[in-house]
Amino acid sequence: MPPLHHTSNFTFIPTILSPHPKIPFQPSDKKEIQQAMSKYFEDPAWADITPLPLEDGGPNALAQIAYSAEYDELMQYLRAVMAANEYSPRVLALTEDLIELNPAHYTVWLYRFQCLVALQSDLQRELAWLNETALVHLKNYQIWHHRNLIVDRLGSSEGEARFVERMFERDAKNYHVWSYRQWLVTRFDLWEQGELEFTERMIESDVRNNSAWNHRWFIVNGREEQGVPGVSDPAIRAREIQFAQEAIGKAPHNESPWNYMRGIARKSGMALGHLREFVEQYASLAQPDKVRSSYALDFLVDILAEEKGGKEQAGEALDLLASKYDPIRKNYWEHKKDNLGLAAA
């Protein structure tokens, strides 16, 4: 396919993925916030600063940005100190107040980091403050990026793995936190510091947590380029297949371990036939009414398709998927039949 050109008169514009906007933190008690705000105007520590109102780009309606009074006041002080390139303890306090009001404002975070660096602030104290903030604003992206910058600069991951686990107690599938965990492992070489056991704990507490499965794959296979073998090593492969199979035993209709096992077979080039006995416990053509998982039946299709003379049986399994066990994906199952050179049902 050639690169996509936009040639017609009306070229529809491709869409950018932007961060999923979360409803921002809303102060629970407006009055309380308001009192906190007016402290800046009356505080002698800020008397030298003239708050800087927003230049909103003209009189047109779209640019009229209506700040609420309290937030507006803080933003005016922030603009003023940024314009003066001021880095000081009071700027840290100001950014802290602003972040509490609106943790998604990326400029505030960046300026805070600059300020911490310029003041050579105690970064451990910053981490302690972040710990509290992160628990309040769990889904916020900037917090994790900020933490990343701080810990990188500290050069030590002391206490971080434990903190991350605490975060997972609140939301075990948080994408930012998992990304941060992977960064920690890579940055501080934590591959063999109990990380595999950590994935075991996470999967033990929720066998359907796909993020934990993904992390396990990363820990097992993430260093192959550096010469540390993953599932291409027969012993590791056997261990991982067993791990996936035990998980399937607990919850047969669970996409993650089936994908994991399929991934292992594919990466290591093993013949799928070795897994037939296991798979048939969950889906077998001998007992077409007792299929326990469509994932197992799909796996069986691939096993049969690899076998000599197994195509017709694979077709039977695909018909079962299309008609009974997973009809929402009927067209996909038909496509698989087509790929095997079998006529549609």
Of 41-100, which residues contact another protein (CB under 8 A)?
54-58, 60-68, 71-72, 79
- Interface residue with another protein among 170, 266, 274, 324 (CB under 8 A) is 266
Nearest distance, CB of residue 211 and another protein, angstroms: 5
Nearest distance, CB of residue 44 and another protein, angstroms: 27
Is the Cα torsion angle 225, 228, 232, 238 positive or negative in sign? negative
Nearer to another protein, 71 or 188 (CB): 71
Nearer to another protein, 44 or 58 (CB): 58
The H-or-E segment that residue 315 falls in is helix 311-320
Give residue 168's Cα distance to chain centre.
12
Q: What is the CA radius of gyration of the chain?
A: 28
Alpha helices in 137-275 (DSSP H): 141-154, 160-170, 175-187, 195-205, 210-221, 234-250, 255-268
Structure tokens at 204: 């033990």
Residues in contact with 307: Cβ distance below 8 Å, sequence separation at least 6, in sequence order: 273
CA distance 217 to 224: 12
Verify whether residue 173 is a known catalytic residue.
Answer: no
Nearest distance, CB of residue 323 and another protein, angstroms: 14
Nearest distance, CB of residue 36 and another protein, angstroms: 15
Nearest distance, CB of residue 25 and another protein, angstroms: 8
Binders of another protein in range 239-258 (CB under 8 A): 255-256
Q: Which stretch binds another protein (CB under 8 A): 2-10, 88-96, 193-201, 277-285?
A: 2-10
- Interface residue with another protein among 74, 99, 101, 130 (CB under 8 A) is 101
Nearer to another protein, 47 or 238 (CB): 238
Q: Which stretch binds another protein (CB under 8 A): 85-93, 130-138, 196-204, 334-342?
A: 334-342
| Residue bearing tokens 């779209």 | 62
Total binding residues toward another protein, as defined by CB under 8 A:
80
Best CA proximity match to 253, nearest among 325, 200, 319: 325
Nearer to another protein, 44 or 269 (CB): 269
CA distance 236 to 229: 8
Binders of another protein in range 110-139 (CB under 8 A): 110, 113
Nearer to another protein, 66 or 343 (CB): 66
Binders of another protein in range 190-219 (CB under 8 A): 208-211, 214-215, 217-218
What's the N-to-C CA distance of the chain in angstroms? 32
Of the residues 30, 139, 173, 267, only one is catalytic, namely 139
Q: Are 111 and 91 in contact (CB under 8 A)?
A: yes
- Interface residue with another protein among 138, 149, 161, 270 (CB under 8 A) is 149
Nearer to another protein, 25 or 188 (CB): 25
Nearer to another protein, 14 or 309 (CB): 14
CA distance 334 to 327: 11
Structure tokens at 311: 């195509």
Residue 307 identity: E
Nearest distance, CB of residue 72 and another protein, angstroms: 8
152 by Cβ neighbours in 10 Å (0-12 / 13-18 / 19+) ranks as middle
Binders of another protein in range 270-329 (CB under 8 A): 328-329
- Interface residue with another protein among 133, 182, 245, 313 (CB under 8 A) is 182
Q: Which stretch binds another protein (CB under 8 A): 41-49, 119-127, 262-270, 315-323?
A: 262-270
Angle between helices 69-83 and 89-101 (to 10 degrees): 140
Nearest distance, CB of residue 179 and another protein, angstroms: 6
Best CA proximity match to 233, nearest among 196, 271, 268, 272: 268
Show which residues are catalytic. Answer: 139
